[in-house]
Structure 1
């Protein structure tokens, strides 16, 4: 025990002596302009510096030497002179383009200076192969950020003709921005428009003649100003690109190139440089370049909003940000308003509806046989003069005359029977259309739910891609730390490529499903729409108690009664059976027609009136003493006809009608049997799918928890890559199964409603309540 106490005393004493020997080292920080992230960034930087240098010195950051120039060149000069002339500043950290420009103009540096931050590689020229500043007490920290690389990559992704380049106006006053861009865009072979800004209000007019925008300015704008700037660009459907800050991506910039773990690398390099200065090394010998791995961010929401022609090949190297659910649309459809528009706009239904109109016309044609047939004619004639002369006035050489004839059918078994037959066939045509309409609703519902599944798969694959990329980053970090081998990184790169291909396929399927919906609604094929299911996407109240139905189906005793009732309702409502019944009645009437027409005559009234307008030439006068026919006269008569034998066609047609009756009755019986089968099948399908929903929810929840645990374990090196991949695949397969089970359940309910010929969502609440009440009454009163 005494030895342990003695050892502790020695250690504490050594620590106290070391603390007494640690020197104090003061660091000044110069910046361009304060932004809201400045404090948190500086706090992290200070912590990193103190952590690295703590063994060599006590680092001090005095508040009075934290100076901003507010983007004013004179202020920048004064701030630098203040810290240079101060006796209690040992080292100067400078960040920002303006500070770096001002400080770099000096030829000598009395105190160690580290320049880092927002400065493009295009504006700093070092001889090839020079990797240090070679200036006493001065070093840079430069990343490969450059206009040339950015604009070249941007053009590869979008072949712009004229790009607008937004820069801060103050930069054009201190850096050769125009000359630099002239050279760069000359090599790229594109036009450009330099847009220096100090205010967002200056932007609109300058975007008129460009087809893309590169944002290199606005870093020091407020968040609201940045948002306004980006909104104005997106509202013009202009693709945008930046490499300034990741915040720009979340505000809506389309593409953004960002270093991976940039701040951590920056902070560590700065801390190591300060440590070197504390230990007496000259900064001129320190490396100036900081190699960083970059990542390309793609804002998927902006891509959809501006209708960007995205090359799928770029998805492999992009990090998708933004909510893939926030797809832009001009119209949003739920199943009910989708079906209402379908019934109003679908071309196929409009074409089918003409069958009803044609059937009504047939009824009118049949009725028209009892309408009078009125005709009139005018005749002018010329006959041989010699013949006219000897006709004694009965056939003048020239004659003009006119007549009116009328025919009125009084009774005809054929006409009466045809009227009744056509009315019955018109009713059958209406029922046929009703069936076609309900089939169209079901087919549209299938298209709608398939589209919902396609949308769900797209969103699931989007999440899968993001998780895969996260796991890929974990693998690279583990590889850098020596926890895993290069094989893990390569495997995750392969998984990333597969996930990218999957989301491309899923998105393509989703877009094709939207095309199908637009086609059904007679919309333009590329019309921007979105679809939702209120019970799934918004958890709205269930107007029809589907869970109550499931309880009835699941009860072995009540299930039989329920099936009997549903069979009864389906048969009563079936438009196919009603149509068959009307056709049977028409066939029966046709058979009676051919039987009764043997004995019932056809009675018609006929009449006419003739008038001679003129008589001229030879033979136009009667001989003396002869009274000629009057110029005008009429006739009227009744015609009765009864065909005795017409090649036995009446008997043959009657036999044909009787055969048709037998055929239709068999079809009706078969249809009833099929309806009963369909009712039973769909009820058991619904029960099975509902069970799958509950199981898939549990599976998805468990798989998600397992994936999260596996990610932590893999990050800590506790498990291998195979376990994490298996967990990820299990989770996303569970998600897909849950989505399919959910939407297929509601699709099966829709199929049941079609079998019943009663769509609950298209009927008023009182009718639905009546349906439910009748069902409950039936279950209670029938044993």
Structure 2
């Protein structure tokens, strides 16, 4: 028993020791990394933090990666300080050294004996770098240098193809230029392209501004890594002011600040950080640095600022869109005129050619009124008469053989029912034509409103299509990264390339759709069709759309008890306000006046006055004599009563009565059609109000779902089909969300058209009176 008890204790001790050793073995080892930097700024600090996160994520549980502050060395471009800091890191407890920057890299290449492992980010493979070894790996113990596929030669070639400049100002630091011995390199590139160049060395952004000579027509930022975002924005604005196209070899987000373009992809830093992290993870797992590949392939995708391109008045080639990351809006630029809806309505009412032609119809009928009224104006005339009588063949001896006579006459209509009826009818017809012109005005307002909202929909569709294309571009780059890491197959890349081609086509079509929408607006406001314009965004309850009390309208339409009274009130408003009803009313008045005339009015007598003065100027020949007096007056009164005129009065009365019946039928039909249209628009408004709320929820959910799906795809948890479905769901949800608000406002303007009351064109007091009338109607309902 004692032996068994002792044996049990020994076994328990051995088991506990074994478990403890396993636990100790499972604890992650600490791995300390030193960093060699040339300059420290907010931008570089953010990048370093991203790099640290990527390294820790990739290494995972293989080791606890530390970045002690004491192992962070920044030399501020001081070569002697850089050598001193490098020696300190070699003697420190760092497990690995990461080096960044041209000067730091050249320092490492001076002595290829590495007591501690070093990974050097060499950047571009410039000829002056003189990388010591050939082959896939460095071949030097404890040393890995990473060289990207980026090339200043490719940058200059792309830049020249884009702008066809003649002399480029090449911006870079002097130490960068000298350490890489770039003179022959630039000479060879510019000679091949047939261009000239001038070096612009800088320490700060102001140096670049001061050294731009007048004959430079383009600027290439060959090495601007250490310029801050503020510096880049300052230079971008300066280049635009001087009409200088610009290109950068640095960050893709510099293009968002106004630089024209770059060959850098927005995902390149992700690729660089991923490659560095994978190299560290492989080293920790036992792979020697000298055997790892030095070549780092980066995406060469042109990133282009379209706003800068337009402001520089450079042509946009749609062929560029296929492989280009677009920044900014393809249509908008600083030189376009921006119109809101009120601007377009005002210009339409004044400049629209159709309205101008319609106004001439009113003017013509005004002339008809004047012509009818002129019947009561006096008729005055004068005449002369020369007579000859053959005295040998006639017996009127009292008449002279030759005579010269003259007279002046006056006719004045005093009363005529026919004339009165004609004047009254023409006045009513002119008033009816004026109401038709008012109809044309309302139609033009609705038409330009529809064009405005269609342009807004096309504009937001263009932005969404561009964002969707950019998202596909990022997903393509993600698929390429996963393919390189062995997490996905080549089919994913091919699928995203196919999606990319389709997205690019959709982007081109959306661009042309917006251009066509602007052409239609220019036609509506009688502007040259090629005039560059844009439309201001419309927001519910803000700006000119504050008059649309969205919450009140939504409350009324959502309340079944108020909805029916509201519709009936709108129908009554339409009957009161719409010029279409007034056209029929004026036409009915003209017809009724015609009926009265052809019934009893025809029996009223027509009264007129006549007067004349006759004068015998001279007479001679046979029968001539001295006549006294030579001049004399005549005057008279005419009274005429039409009794029977071939039954014309009866036929005209019957015709007018048929016309009256026809107009009354048209009015009833118009009322029915308008009520139907009001009810249809109200139902559409209810749909749009609910759509505004639901589409916002849907878009937020689709956006979050896409982010989760993208993270899962990155981790290999979902396939490409799920990622594309999530992206397409977001595209549909964004389009639905943007269209919901604009469709609501468009339906609101359609409702205004049906009731003849535009809230945008009426004063706040008039709109308040409209609401008061509805409240009074509802209280009495």
Same structural fold, with TM-score higher than 0.5 when normalized by the shorter chain: yes
Q: What is the CA-CA distance between 1:619 and the residue it aligns to?
A: 4.4
2:36/2:72 contact within 8 Å kept: no
Q: What is the CA-CA distance between 1:382 and the residue it aligns to?
A: 11
1:121/1:143 contact within 8 Å kept: no
Tell whether 2:340 aligns with 1:341. Answer: no
Residue in 2 that maps onto 1:471: 475
Q: 1:426 aligns with which of 421, 427, 430?
A: 430
Deviations along 1:276-335, whole A, 9 cap, x unmatched?
Answer: 9x98x9x8x987644333343233543555555333333332334458898657444443
SS in structure 2 of the partner of residue 703 of structure 1: helix
Tell whether 2:594 aligns with 1:590. Answer: yes
- More divergent stretch after superposition (158-167 vs 638-647): 638-647
SS in structure 1 of the partner of residue 75 of structure 2: strand
Distance in 1, matches of 2:144 and 2:538, equals: 60
1:591/1:658 contact within 8 Å kept: yes
Distance in 2, matches of 1:46 and 1:449, equals: 48
Q: What is the CA-CA distance between 1:781 and the residue it aligns to?
A: 2.1
Residue in 1 that maps onto 2:76: 68
1:468/1:496 contact within 8 Å kept: yes
Residue in 1 that maps onto 2:305: 299
Distance 1:15 1:570, change over 3 A: closer
Tell whether 2:320 aligns with 1:311. Answer: no
Q: What is the CA-CA distance between 1:428 and the residue it aligns to?
A: 0.9
SS in structure 2 of the partner of residue 166 of structure 1: strand
1:109/1:137 contact within 8 Å kept: no
1:214/1:240 contact within 8 Å kept: yes
Distance in 2, matches of 1:421 and 1:35, equals: 85
Distance in 2, matches of 1:645 and 1:209, equals: 97
Deviations along 1:24-57, whole A, 9 cap, x unmatched?
Answer: 99x89474x55543445567779999999x99x9
SS in structure 2 of the partner of residue 37 of structure 1: helix
Residue in 2 that maps onto 1:532: 537
Q: What is the CA-CA distance between 1:542 and the residue it aligns to?
A: 5.1
1:121/1:142 contact within 8 Å kept: no
Q: 1:264 aligns with which of 273, 277, 285?
A: 273
1:215/1:240 contact within 8 Å kept: yes
Tell whether 2:626 aligns with 1:626. Answer: yes
Distance 1:181 1:347, change over 3 A: farther
Distance in 2, matches of 1:127 and 1:373, equals: 115
Q: 1:414 aligns with which of 409, 415, 418?
A: 418
2:573/2:755 contact within 8 Å kept: yes
Q: What is the CA-CA distance between 1:609 and the residue it aligns to?
A: 4.8
Q: 1:458 aligns with which of 455, 462, 471?
A: 462
Q: What are the equivalent positions in structure 2 for 1:550-565 lying under 5 Å apart?
A: 550-565=554-569
Residue in 2 that maps onto 1:364: 370
Deviations along 1:636-657, whole A, 9 cap, x unmatched?
Answer: 4444445565554444333322
- More divergent stretch after superposition (754-763 vs 119-128): 119-128
Tell whether 2:42 aligns with 1:3. Answer: no
2:331/2:511 contact within 8 Å kept: no
SS in structure 1 of the partner of residue 149 of structure 2: coil
Distance in 1, matches of 2:349 and 2:103, equals: 65
Distance 1:738 1:233, change over 3 A: same
Distance in 1, matches of 2:324 and 2:725, equals: 24
Residue in 1 that maps onto 2:520: 516
**TM-score for the superposition, normalised by structure 2:** 0.80
Distance 1:551 1:678, change over 3 A: same
Q: 2:507 aligns with which of 475, 497, 503?
A: 503
- More divergent stretch after superposition (685-694 vs 713-722): 685-694
1:442/1:754 contact within 8 Å kept: yes
**TM-score for the superposition, normalised by structure 1:** 0.80
Distance in 2, matches of 1:676 and 1:85, equals: 89
Distance 1:612 1:233, change over 3 A: farther
- More divergent stretch after superposition (557-566 vs 663-672): 557-566
SS in structure 1 of the partner of residue 148 of structure 2: coil
Distance in 1, matches of 2:324 and 2:495, equals: 18
Distance in 1, matches of 2:722 and 2:97, equals: 49
Distance 1:683 1:37, change over 3 A: closer
Distance in 1, matches of 2:447 and 2:716, equals: 52
Residue in 2 that maps onto 1:482: 486
Distance in 1, matches of 2:430 and 2:318, equals: 55
Distance 1:37 1:599, change over 3 A: closer
Structure 2 residue runs without a partner (length 5+): 1-11
Tell whether 2:189 aligns with 1:184. Answer: yes
Q: What is the CA-CA distance between 1:586 and the residue it aligns to?
A: 0.7
1:431/1:576 contact within 8 Å kept: yes
2:200/2:211 contact within 8 Å kept: no
2:412/2:608 contact within 8 Å kept: yes
Tell whether 2:711 aligns with 1:712. Answer: yes
Number of paired residues?
Answer: 751
Q: 2:156 aligns with which of 133, 151, 164?
A: 151
- More divergent stretch after superposition (204-213 vs 740-749): 204-213
Q: What are the equivalent positions in structure 2 for 1:112-261 lying under 5 Å apart?
A: 117=122, 121=126, 123=128, 141-156=146-161, 158=162, 160-162=164-166, 164-168=168-172, 170=174, 180-189=185-194, 191-194=195-198, 196=200, 198=202, 200=206, 203=209, 206=212, 213-235=219-241, 238-258=244-264, 260=268, 261=270
Distance 1:41 1:657, change over 3 A: closer
SS in structure 1 of the partner of residue 540 of structure 2: helix
Q: What is the CA-CA distance between 1:561 and the residue it aligns to?
A: 3.2
Distance 1:183 1:551, change over 3 A: same
Q: CA RMSD in A?
A: 4.9
Distance 1:92 1:129, change over 3 A: closer
Distance in 2, matches of 1:555 and 1:264, equals: 58
Distance 1:175 1:633, change over 3 A: farther
Deviations along 1:387-434, whole A, 9 cap, x unmatched?
Answer: 9xx99996779x7x9765443222222221111011111111121122
1:252/1:302 contact within 8 Å kept: yes
Distance in 2, matches of 1:556 and 1:36, equals: 59
Distance 1:697 1:88, change over 3 A: closer
Q: What is the CA-CA distance between 1:462 and the residue it aligns to?
A: 2.9
Distance in 1, matches of 2:391 and 2:127, equals: 119
- More divergent stretch after superposition (718-727 vs 179-188): 179-188
Deviations along 1:55-82, whole A, 9 cap, x unmatched?
Answer: 9x9999978974334xxxxx64x55776
Deviations along 1:732-770, whole A, 9 cap, x unmatched?
Answer: 223323333333233223222222122223222222222
Distance in 1, matches of 2:708 and 2:25, equals: 43
- More divergent stretch after superposition (193-202 vs 685-694): 193-202
Deviations along 1:340-389, whole A, 9 cap, x unmatched?
Answer: 3322332222221222222222212221222223445689x8989999xx
- More divergent stretch after superposition (249-258 vs 732-741): 732-741
Distance in 1, matches of 2:164 and 2:138, equals: 37
Residue in 2 that maps onto 1:670: 669
1:606/1:638 contact within 8 Å kept: yes
Distance 1:174 1:392, change over 3 A: farther
Distance in 1, matches of 2:497 and 2:578, equals: 57
Distance in 2, matches of 1:575 and 1:774, equals: 20
Distance 1:253 1:64, change over 3 A: closer
2:136/2:294 contact within 8 Å kept: yes
1:449/1:747 contact within 8 Å kept: yes
1:373/1:406 contact within 8 Å kept: yes
